[in-house]
Structure 1
């Protein structure tokens, strides 16, 4: 039977730490005595590396002071470079010269450990700054709503920081030989729980990011979606506000608006108009053949872009012609006035040419009992006596 009162083996023994520290000091002293010249050269190389990296960091800070550097992307890169830490600079220099100076195993292991931690954390800082800087640069260049942007950026910064440094922590622990399976599983379960709890908010948030980066429209654009039209007033964290053509404010979630077909009227390079013109069947064929040329002449006289004009068919009470023309640019007011001017000019020209515009007409015919047609009016005027039956 085992003795349950026996002393348990301690998990942590302070004497082991002391032994490792003593061994590290002893190995370092022996290394300095044997390779002092290589160590001095290595320190010189390391000092040069530190100076170069500090110079690069100062260059990054100067880029941030130039608003037009590289079309704004210089500021993003500059901010990332400026966030380079001193600890990473020192450990990078030590890592690069450790091999040249023939460092003993204890020293090399220590440098590798510290460099791994410094490099992964520094990479996380760079990635976070580049992601956030890219989002801020895009939103500022596209003139998105300021208050909504501040709210969105606060949440985006928190999410990006959490995700990036969580990944960095897992990478560091994995490189140090720690089993990270449980940690990764825990982070995954936690992320799924948070995502399910706030899936509506996250859906609209990612839709807002899609609007920012994909740029289907921007603030101030005139758009049409579904059965509504209006001007975009604000693009927020959860919704987009649109001023309707009747003056009303429409609020639609970012996810829903991206699920619809969007017509960006501000990005039009032209607006097209067409008129359907019907003339009477009594119009002579030679006159009808001149109508397309007349329509072209009228359109070009009003500084519009002529597309086509021609005969389209035999209508119920008219010979139908169509003319199509474009107005340059997206301005609806200019297009509207130009269309009116062309329409009135067509009416005036047809009146001057004595060409009658058709209107709906109907002729009723009557039939006798034997099926023969009866004229709607008598062929000869008869007296009332003759017309009165006996």
Structure 2
């Protein structure tokens, strides 16, 4: 009888062992490797901004598109279904395997993904290269794999960049546009230094904003213009209407509009970054990283024309345009006064050493930059019209920003 009992016990133990192996032994967290292999990898929800990851150690994690892990636990696998358990052992979800992917209990479909692609950040590597269309086919720019590049449908010579995984997130209303826009009428005023170029750049930015976005621009918050040596750069911060995305939303979003002038090329480089206020800093940083890789150059310099080694001394001759060759330069007249010839007109810049008697004016406590009317018309009224500096002429220079020079060397002209 004891021998029979031992045999029956061995048979029962064998049956239980076989059943545990075939069912995946859910008690110790192990399972049949053949069952779990059909589920290991990355799964992306089709309608939610989430990833499900399953590994060979029967562990699962749920991660959002920002890279944040939101949940996790252990997996029990069968031939056509899996059970997700939380860390405390409670059942989280049952999912079935179909021809299209995994289907959860709510009917959501998860499709297999080769990798976890998150929303872009400023630390992403710029590992892809795009070539501009149209007239700028020789110009390239780098961008991260987290973005999708495309030729812009509305603006010629322009590329658009969108985040791959932005649906269902705060980044749904984000976009980067970088391209070249035609301009005209600015070149003559862009060779006289930053003070003259700044109002031109402001006008250029406002014109391009209006042409490209029209009523979608709600308000310009502010702008900053800088001299970058080989180009002028102006950046404007704006509020925009999200209706430009065509999804029925009317929420206000932030925009960062940048314009770069590279000289008389008839084009300006334009970059527009659009994002919610909570994400605008991130996307502006990405845009700046991309612009730093742009291969465009025009071989131009923002520096004004240099003073020639031997400037002409005949003021009247130059005022008459006798030597008008279209080249701008600085020169001194017979009194040592400094003038600027812009290729078509002369502009008085400052008095030279021979322009007045130092002893006389010092004795009378005279400031040569004060109102000339204080000292009569005899000194300022010359017989030749080219040298007539009456009150009207002074008022013109005082009230015209294009000729407003600072006291420390007349702006950038002597840099």
Which has more helix, going by share of residues? Answer: 1
TM-score after normalising by structure 2: 0.23
For the pair shown, which has the larger CA radius of gyration, 1 or 2?
A: 1
Which has more strand, going by share of residues? Answer: 2
TM-score after normalising by structure 1: 0.24
